[in-house]
Amino acid sequence: MNSRHAPFAVSPIAAIVLLLGMTVALICPSCQKEKKSIVESFSDPKDISSLTTYDVNTLISDSGVTRYRIRAKEWRIYDKADEPYWYFPQGIYVEKFDHNFETESFILGDTAVYFSRLQIWRLRGDVRIENTQDEHFFTEELYWDQQKKTIYSDSAIHIERVDRIMEGVGFVSNETMTQYTLRHTTGIFPINQETRDNDEEARPESARSREDNAKKYAPRRRPST
């Protein structure tokens, strides 16, 4: 006896649902792989800051003695990196104290990186330094080795002293910038005392001390948008 099977009827709606299901099944694996790769690209702890803080104003000790003050608008810590470091993308102001908690010098820059294991700072951009001798240093990049207690750079530098202006390329100095050597001097220009006096009179009173200069040049809050 011959048996015949009745044709299986599929409604148009069911066909559409079935077709969509097959399409999703084919697409989903590639979507999942794409999402996974995106997540993995941001999951490496070396590339993610373990801590980010804002409006920093903190004191740092060395061998139990307060030596430095740091001011910055943003501070990111990458302690999982192969070479752990701190990053200051919005600029930094570093003030160095002597044993009597008096300011020996201050350094500021547009951006800064501190390699915490090596104890080396790298400042870039509009880098400025002032010491107790009322000398002003301007450069685009410098390194500060806290272990060796030296500051150095291979970039061009402009130095304003009481009696002269000095320019050169590359320098090395002690931490307080009171004993320094230019590697290649490109110019020395004497300053006329009368001109200097006029410049001093033209400067506002608040800009004549190191502390007020520090406030003037320290990183400021960016205007909200």
CA–chain centroid gap for 6, Å, is 77
- Across residues 186-203, what is the average pLDDT? 66
pLDDT reading at 196 higher than 80: no
201 pLDDT higher than 50: yes
Position 204 pLDDT exceeds 80: no
Q: Which residues contact 214 (CB under 8 A, 6 or more apart)?
A: 93, 95, 103, 106, 108, 130
d(CA 201, CA 148): 40
Local structure of 2: helix, strand or coil: coil
**Mean pLDDT lowest among 13-17, 150-154, 188-192:** 13-17
d(CA 95, CA 104): 8
Helices and strands per DSSP (H, E), number in the chain: 3, 11
Least confident of 91-95, 97-101, 207-211: 207-211
Residue closest to 54 by CA, chosen among 97, 88, 21, 3: 88
User: Which of 7 and 58 is assigned the larger pLDDT?
Assistant: 58
116-131 in b/e form (b: 16+ CB < 10 A) is: eeeebbbbeeebbbbb
Among 79-83, 149-153, 156-160, 189-193, the least confident range = 189-193
Q: Are 73 and 67 in contact (CB under 8 A)?
A: no
Give every CB contact of residue 73 below 8 A, 6+ residues apart in sequence. Answer: 54, 55, 56, 90, 91, 219, 220, 221, 222
Q: What is the largest CA-CA distance in the chain?
A: 126
What confidence tens digit (pLDDT) does each residue in 94-127 have?
Answer: 888 888 888 888 899 999 999 999 999 999 998 9
SS (H, E, C) 76-126: EEECCCCCCEEEECCCEEEEEECCCCCEEEEEEECEEEEECCCCEEEEEEE
**Pair of tokens at residue 87:** 């990053």
**How confident is the model at residue 195, as a pLDDT?**
52
d(CA 30, CA 194): 76
Residue pair 70/60 in contact (Cβ under 8 Å)? The answer is yes
pLDDT of 56 over the 60 cut = yes
**pLDDT, position 133:** 86
